[in-house]
């Protein structure tokens, strides 16, 4: 029995074929609201149950409750706002109670029942979610640039968002069937935005030592220059799984999702999404979903204390390193040796080596993984 969906029920807001045809036939008469690809992906995540129990973009009651007490109005834990913002002037002829069509590049994505149009305080939202209103924080900057009004209401998905990684995309209903077919009763979720080094592998395998399977779920979305390209991350993981994981212990599928860099709050959100995919456990390492020095390194672990009713078990790990004296991977909790014996996994250092076409040492990265990465002409986002 994999994990129950968050809030008890897996949401499905994808239009049936007949409903879809009907909506599209009426599309010309519906007011349209153009949305960004990021918002279209949010709509898809809502409709396909990744954000269960949300059935649409948040109403003010849930939004307020999320900001002030990290729960929906129904008391279900929920830490990040999922909202649709619009510019005030763009809402000509749209009022509460209307149905509108959300469109991406002119194509219908979803029908939305606009239940509520409301104002909100951007600075206060930023401070609640990110713990800061510093413009140095990318999430704060994005929040301050949002439209002045929020639209809340249920959606029905009628289109799909172009996806270059269709064959690596699984939805919660599919992973639930998959985990069941594999006979996994316990599944640990792993969030990543990176090509795997030994530290990542150790996190997963330490967890795997006492659960049935690991769900490796890289987030595909907007990247920063210097990040590994999405296709590189996927191929690197495929190599790692092929060479270093026992058969039928790992599933690799992507999640299209825009990182907020909200640290602790986002760590809980990441856990909730993986719970909806069927995970019973979720790995939280050092500085999960953090950015710069905005969050203490283990704040994203501490926050879970506030959610005894989360319904997915967080697994907390100290940062792994390679210890020459221990002769293997270790962390503060398992190794007594001084820093001089330890090799830290620095993303920057790994990148520098790869930039120069050099293979990182095997205690830092598996040679098969390094080989795959180096086989790309340019593995980085520019």
**Candidate segments 159-167, 195-203, 260-268, 317-325, binder of Zn ion by CB under 5 A:** 317-325
**Candidate segments 17-25, 85-93, 177-185, 334-342, binder of Zn ion by CB under 5 A:** 334-342
- Verify binding: residue 308, other proteins, rule CB under 8 A: yes
3-state SS record for 190-203: EEECCCCCHHHHHH
Residue in 45, 186, 192, 217 annotated catalytic? 192
Cβ atoms of 52 and 6 closer than 8 Å:
yes
DSSP element (H, E) containing 176:
helix 172-182
Cβ-based neighbours of 97, under 8 Å, separated by 6 or more? 114, 115
- Verify binding: residue 335, Zn ion, rule CB under 5 A: yes
**Candidate segments 179-187, 262-270, 294-302, 328-336, binder of Zn ion by CB under 5 A:** 328-336
Active site annotation includes 192: yes
3-state SS, residue 314: strand
Q: Per DSSP, what are the bridge partners of residue 57? A: 153
Site for other proteins in 58-87 (CB under 8 A): 74-76
Cβ atoms of 226 and 215 closer than 8 Å:
no
Report how far apart, in Å, the C-alpha atoms of 145 and of each of 33, 131, 266 are: 18, 17, 20
Site for Zn ion in 134-173 (CB under 5 A): none
In degrees, rounded to 5, the angle at the alpha carbon of residue 199 between the alpha carbons of residues 262 and 210 is 90
Which is nearer to other proteins, 144 or 177 (by Cβ)?
177
DSSP element (H, E) containing 23:
helix 17-25
Euclidean distance between CA atoms 313 and 309, whole angstroms: 10
How many residues bind other proteins (CB under 8 A)? The answer is 25
224 interface partner picked from Zn ion, other proteins, none, CB below 5 to 8 A per type? none
178 interface partner picked from Zn ion, other proteins, none, CB below 5 to 8 A per type? other proteins
- Catalytically annotated residues: 192-194
Q: Which residues bind other proteins (CB under 8 A)?
A: 1, 4-5, 7-10, 12, 53, 74-76, 167, 170, 173-174, 177-178, 181, 251, 253, 305, 308-309, 311
Instruction: Point out which residues bind Zn ion (CB under 5 A).
Output: 323, 325-326, 330, 335, 337
């Amino acid at each position: 029995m994999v994990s129950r969906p968050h809030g008890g029920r897996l949401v499905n807001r994808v239009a049936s074929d007949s409903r879809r045809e009907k909506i599209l036939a009426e599309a010309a008469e519906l007011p349209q609201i153009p949305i960004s690809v990021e918002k279209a992906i949010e709509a898809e995540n809502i409709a396909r149950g990744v954000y269960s129990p949300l059935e649409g973009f948040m109403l003010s009651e849930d939004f307020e409750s999320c900001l002030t007490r990290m729960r929906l109005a129904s008391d279900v834990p929920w830490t990040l706002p999922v909202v649709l913002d619009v510019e005030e002037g763009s809402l000509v002829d749209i009022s509460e109670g209307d149905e509108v069509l959300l469109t991406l590049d002119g194509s219908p994505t979803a029908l939305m029942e606009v239940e509520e149009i409301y104002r909100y305080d951007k600075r206060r939202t930023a401070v609640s979610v990110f713990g800061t209103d510093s413009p140095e924080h990318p999430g704060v900057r994005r929040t301050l640039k949002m439209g002045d009004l929020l639209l809340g209401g249920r959606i029905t998905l009628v289109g799909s968002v172009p996806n270059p990684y269709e064959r690596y995309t699984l939805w919660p209903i599919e992973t639930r069937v998959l985990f069941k077919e594999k006979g996994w009763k316990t599944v640990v979720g792993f969030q990543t935005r990176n090509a795997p080094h030994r530290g990542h592998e150790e996190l997963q395998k330490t967890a795997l030592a006492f659960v049935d399977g690991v769900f490796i779920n890289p987030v595909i979305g907007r990247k920063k220059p210097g990040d590994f390209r999405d296709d590189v991350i996927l191929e690197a993981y495929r190599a790692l799984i092929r060479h270093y994981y026992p058969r039928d212990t790992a599933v690799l599928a992507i999640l299209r999702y825009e990182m907020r860099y909200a640290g602790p709050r986002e760590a809980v959100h990441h856990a909730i999404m993986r719970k909806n995919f069927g995970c019973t456990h979720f790995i939280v390492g050092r500085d999960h979903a953090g950015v710069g020095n905005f969050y203490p390194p283990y704040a994203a672990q501490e926050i879970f204390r506030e959610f005894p009713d989360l319904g997915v078990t967080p697994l907390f790990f100290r940062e792994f390193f390679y210890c020459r004296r221990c002769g293997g991977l270790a962390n503060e909790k398992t190794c007594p040796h001084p820093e001089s014996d330890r090799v830290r996994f620095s993303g920057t250092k790994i990148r520098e080596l790869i930039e120069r076409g050099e293979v990182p040492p095997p205690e830092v990265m598996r040679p098969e993984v390094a080989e795959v990465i180096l086989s790309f002409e340019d593995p980085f986002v520019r």
